[in-house]
A and B are shown apart, each in its own frame.
Chain A
Amino acid sequence: MNSNRSSRWLEWVLLALVLVLALWLRLADVAARPMHADEANQAVKLGGLLAGEGYRFDPSDHHGPTLYYFSEVVARWRGENNLAALTEFTVRLTPVLAGVLAVLLLWILVRPLGRWPALLAALLLAVAPAAVYYSRYFIQETLLVTFTLGAFVCGRAWWEKRGLIWAVGTGGWLGLMLATKASALVLVAAACLALAACRRTSRTPWREVAVVGVVAAFVAAAFYSSFGTNLGGLRDALVTPFAMLGRVAGGESGHEKPWWYYLRLFVYQKQGGYVWDESVLLLPALVGAGLGWRRGGLSRFVAVYVAVIALVYSLAPYKTPWQVVNLVPGLCILAAITLASVRRWVAVPLVLVVLAGLGWQTRQAVFLRPADERNPFAYVHTVPDMVKVPAIAAAVPAGPVKVIGREYWPLPWYLRARPAVGFWTEPPTDCDGVLVFVEADQAEAVRARLKGNYTESFLGLRPGVLVVVFTRVGA
């Protein structure tokens, strides 16, 4: 009895340590990395929501509303009530918290498989490079992972115990998934296929399935309609999956990559002198997939789910590295199944090797080179030069600031504290301003139209994209 109680205490202590580690890895120096164009874009949208301009779902090039609404709560809690007051720390806090919650949910999901598999899976997710990197990134992907895990936790309880409350819970998480990204449909389809692979002979409880569907639709509709204030958002939400399908399969988005792109993120590669390798996670996960298939139940569900997602993502020409985080929790579970199934004298050094390998990669990707173009997770990333922009803008007197270029994000974020900032994709007739940021290939045209005296300097926007900064002299 005492032995049981002490081992339960040990388990709680270890879980608490894993969660603290997850929080620290996600929160430490979280504001340091320059804002990616996508992060800046979404943060400026959040600024509109904070300013009382409301939110309207925009199906073109944008995802669902959950990120904005949850971030609004966090921003108001931190006392940042407008765009100018918003900080990188605050906007990234929502995915950070979602990332830690994902670790906890993974532990709850895997706990029925045993104490050690659950703790190991949670620990691997806590330190996995992609999971840590994109938990510090103001985009929807980590929220989608967390909501998916929430749906699995409730879905599993519903599967095992039945009961309306679990059906409602599953529907709620599912609704949040759908209100986060249209690609949630791929995850739902993969989960259905995985369920079919684990199906028992019992009859399907259609009444409760209907409850799941109704609750999910209600939650998603609430978000997409901006809580009843924009019913057009519902129509847009319904057509978004078709638009997404066209973009993903169309092959003209500019984000097309070979089928092995996601696989390559986990195996050895050398980029400009830097080594990236997560095979320490992939190899035990592959073994775990075989074990999982044989064992059935949750293990088989995870193996099939991961395999289906990996297959669909790899076959679709459209690929961005953040999509890989949807694979990571499953890989962590499968790797944990392998590591927990070997004898302890083998398991302990193996776990240490896996943790050392992942820790080394996380350190390099997240803390040493978070915005480096050779970092496979830093996709078309903003360069550190952009962080200089607020100081440059603060050093010039009041007057119009002009941004001219086909590529200018994240400049709207870095100029958010400045009034009278205008943005043009082509040089306007009157280019003059106290400060003029111009994409390098348009600098000559702008220079010809400037009437005052200016000094010129270069700033980087993204790798290979330069901005010429014209600063008016004696303004």
Chain B
Amino acid sequence: MIRRLLTLTLLSLTVPALSAQDLVPIPLELPKPLFVGTPVPIKVPNLEKATGVKRPPFLAPAGTVNLAKDKEVTASDTFPVIGDTPFVTDGDKDGSEGTYVEYGPGLQWVQIDLGKSAPLYAIVMWHFHAQARVYHDVIVQVSDDKDFKTGVTTLFNNDHDNTSGLGAGTDMAYIETAEGKLVDAKGTSARYVRLYSNGNTTSELNHYVEVEVFGKP
């Protein structure tokens, strides 16, 4: 019994001492960077092949059509660096040179006027799919107010740290592919569609090959 008590007393003295000793940083040695030569240029047409998964068909009420085709488009950057703003809804999704519009650096938006309010089911956007890229802070909003001050519904937002100042979003960032990004509009009625982006993983510029807005006329 005395031996047990002695052992317990010794243990009770040792454990705090061990705990105090454990609180020092471990001598972690991390590998240093390897010095290498000039990186080699790579050519990645897009990542569609890499994913290998085709998007399942998106179901919408019968009679749903692309309401955006050839509709009026405005943009925050009124003088695009390359291309013209009407490219956004001209129906050409090829993605090669001469089929996309390039806007200046930083947060930029394009806005499509559908002519009248209509129930919307899906919005599909192609920023640029000739290369593996991620566009930052992609936000898709719809409204009946052309200034987007009232009645704004946000359908997609992957600005996780609120860089844009439009509120933080929880949607995932994605790599551009020729398939485009489909956003479920959930039948929301609106006349205007506004899409934001804030540069991409290749440059600070913003691009649109095409945007399609599916709804019932």
The chain A residues found within 8 Å of chain B, CB to CB, are 37-38, 41, 44-45, 58, 60-62, 253-255, 270, 272-274, 320, 371-373, 379-380, 383-385, 400, 402-403, 407-409, 411-412, 420-425, 440-441, 455-466
- Complex interface: chain A residues within 8 A of B38 (CB): 37-38, 61, 255, 320, 379-380
A61-B37, A423-B31 known; A373+B203 contact, CB < 8 A: yes
Whether A464 contacts B97 by the Cβ 8 Å rule is: no
B29 to chain A minimum Cβ distance, whole angstroms, is: 8
B134 interfacial by beta-carbon distance below 8 Å: yes
Pairs across A and B, CB under 8 Å, 27 listed: A38-B37, A41-B35, A61-B37, A62-B37, A253-B37, A254-B40, A270-B97, A273-B97, A273-B98, A274-B82, A372-B203, A373-B203, A402-B30, A408-B33, A409-B39, A411-B33, A423-B30, A423-B32, A423-B33, A440-B132, A458-B136, A460-B134, A460-B201, A462-B39, A463-B131, A464-B202, A466-B132
Residue of A with least CB distance to B38: A38
Q: Which residue of B lies closest to A385 (CB)?
A: B201
Indicate if the CB atoms of B203 and A422 lie closer than 8 Å. no
Q: How far is the CB of A5 from chain B (nearest CB, A)?
A: 51
**Nearest Cβ distance between residue B70 and chain A, in whole angstroms?**
22
Interface residues of B in 60-111 (CB under 8 A from A): 81-83, 97-98, 102
Q: Which residues of B contact A62 (CB under 8 A)?
A: 35, 37
Task: Indicate whether B180 reaches chain A with its CB closer than 8 angstroms.
Answer: no
Minimum CB–CB distance for A41 against chain B, Å: 6
Tell me, yes or no, whether B10 is within 8 Å of chain A by CB: no
By a CB distance below 8 angstroms, the chain A residues around B215 are: none
The answer to whether A272 and B82 touch across the interface, beta carbons within 8 angstroms, is: yes
For the complex, give the distance between the alpha carbons of A177 and B138 in Å: 50
CB-CB under 8 A from B44, the residues of chain A are 464
* Bound CA–CA A160/B61 (angstroms): 89
Give the most central of B37, B40, B83, B201: most A CB within 10 Å: B201
A-B complex: 10 closest residue pairs judged by Cβ atoms = A460-B201, A422-B30, A254-B40, A61-B37, A273-B82, A458-B134, A412-B33, A464-B44, A423-B33, A463-B202
Q: How far is the CA of A60 from the CA of B134 in the complex (A)?
A: 34
Known: A61-B35, A420-B28. 15 other contacts (CB 8 A): A37-B38, A38-B38, A41-B35, A255-B40, A272-B82, A273-B97, A380-B39, A403-B33, A408-B33, A423-B34, A458-B134, A460-B200, A463-B202, A465-B132, A466-B132
